[in-house]
Chains A and B, each alone.
Chain A
């Protein structure tokens, strides 16, 4: 595949991309940021305009074509089913949770719920496999492993307790995989 680039003085730049059988895709990028996309059926034929995009829209479409994720939206909890009954789930520790400002040991997580905290994400850094003496603060994200019941128990005890409006009825799929394009 060959991409030809040429200057269009006073207008912008032109890129011609060779497709199959002599067909070419022509992208004219105006100095204003506007992109015009044309198709030329073969070398002799006139360009046929397909569509035009604003600068911002062109970048979004480009990212989609590239196959890259674009601005994945963080969901409140992301669970991963490991098979059997085990799952891993992410929770943000709310203000007023019994866990906030305590160490894992003092909150007695394992004894009260059966679930274990396997990582703490403070936003700045992630501590995998934290020491039981490690502190957890409101706003941190904790990663919890256990059976579904144990994880639900953890959720009820430490996450839902303060205001009780954090009802995350779990399905068994991964409801965290949705991404939204801006």
Chain B
């Protein structure tokens, strides 16, 4: 991903820029948590406030996106690295029957909703493809946290919800690979050679993860220090090479994660690297905020509200069908749908991708849309879950 829309340079640099960004993001998140808003959109909001469009516009010292770009990219790679780490081909195969049906419903309902919205708001085929992804992909971070907080994690709906998230993660890996090539390529036909190169590279990484990783694992080190340094080195070198050949650095990070996850190092790596991911992911979310002009978000308000009004119910319906395919009762099926409503980190990754598009409409509209959409949907999704019993009564499937 390249830096977003060019903005006037802020006047904070280096360490101070990074520290200020994190401090503002942390403050906003702490304030919002009291009201029960998930933290991912709040970090974005922190970035908006610390960035050139708000702090800079009122004459305060601000942070230019370029100051933290590399660290934000590390955040994206580590987010996907962890998805890969938790991703198990065996587990997917074991659950494939129920999962593939539920996952297919999820994809076939929600992706087209986004595509139609994108076309309706005049974004063209590539723009519509990006909006489709933003609207389709639920937020693993927000949903998993809500499941644990509300205690739904012990209820039967946890399985279709988490299963659908795993399937979405796999779809998004393929999707991002295509999206990177499409966004850079102008017309879809011009993009074909790029798609071929990018897919070729990712297939090579995937094969290496499958075949070489178990043999390479012992070299990742016995001490924790070696483990962290070497794992990061592998993840960043591979994802950096991916960027260089026009593939998605995030997807490369995903496959490195799959490779490491298949080795006995899985638990230790997860344990040692999770704090790094948490820190760098916050930088990424805040970086998205830095690139966001609240005026631009307000300018796409109609688009955001239309998308929320259509895609929220679409997720509830597709999720409910998914729950029903898992043989759940109507009430638990509805809950499966409600749980899948929040959108978050992956929609923001797509937004960051769109910001690099040579098409000025896509580069301007989609990131602003994504930020507004993620803010609305993560909040709406969290409310949908906490108010589930009221919604159940409303729909007439409440516990007798």
A-to-B contact residues, CB < 8 Å: 6-11, 14, 26, 28, 30-31, 36, 38, 40, 44-49
Instruction: Give the residues in chain B near A28, CB-CB below 8 Å.
Output: 153-154
Are A9 and B91 interface neighbours, CB within 8 A? yes
Supply 10 A–B pairs (Cβ within 8 Å), ascending by A. Answer: A9-B165, A14-B154, A26-B154, A31-B267, A36-B148, A36-B154, A44-B399, A45-B399, A46-B155, A48-B151
* A/B pair count, beta carbons within 8 Å: 55
Among A7, A11, A40, A44, contact of B153 (Cβ-Cβ < 8 Å):
A11
Instruction: Give the residues in chain A near B162, CB-CB below 8 Å.
Output: 8-11
Are B140 and A10 interface neighbours, CB within 8 A? yes
Are A31 and B159 interface neighbours, CB within 8 A? no
Among A7, A26, A40, A48, contact of B91 (Cβ-Cβ < 8 Å):
A7
A13 to chain B, nearest CB (A): 11
A54 to chain B, nearest CB (A): 15
Are B153 and A14 interface neighbours, CB within 8 A? yes
The B interface, classified by DSSP as helix, strand, loop or mixed, is: helix
Among B151, B163, B166, B270, contact of A38 (Cβ-Cβ < 8 Å):
B151
Residue picked from B159, B267, B331, most chain A C-beta under 10 Å? B159
B346 to chain A, nearest CB (A): 14
**What per-residue 1/0 map shows which CB atoms of B135-169 lie under 8 Å from chain A?**
00000100010011001111100110011011000
Instruction: Give the residues in chain A near B147, CB-CB below 8 Å.
Output: 11
Are A11 and B151 interface neighbours, CB within 8 A? no
Are A6 and B159 interface neighbours, CB within 8 A? yes
Give 20 A-B pairs besides A11-B153, A30-B148, A46-B152 with Cβ atoms closer than 8 angstroms: A6-B159, A8-B153, A9-B166, A10-B140, A10-B162, A10-B166, A11-B148, A14-B153, A26-B154, A28-B154, A31-B267, A31-B270, A44-B331, A45-B399, A46-B151, A46-B155, A46-B399, A47-B152, A47-B154, A47-B155
Nearest chain A residue, comparing its CB with the CB of B94 = A7
Are B91 and A38 interface neighbours, CB within 8 A? no
B362 to chain A, nearest CB (A): 31
Among A7, A8, A47, contact of B151 (Cβ-Cβ < 8 Å):
A47
Q: Taking the complex as formed, is B359 at the interface, i.e. its CB lies under 8 A from any CB of chain A?
A: no
Instruction: Give the residues in chain A near B140, CB-CB below 8 Å.
Output: 10
Instruction: Give the residues in chain B near A30, CB-CB below 8 Å.
Output: 148
Complex: A57 Cα to B154 Cα, angstroms: 20
B378 to chain A, nearest CB (A): 17
Instruction: Give the residues in chain A near B67, CB-CB below 8 Å.
Output: none
Instruction: Give the residues in chain B near A8, CB-CB below 8 Å.
Output: 153, 158-159, 162
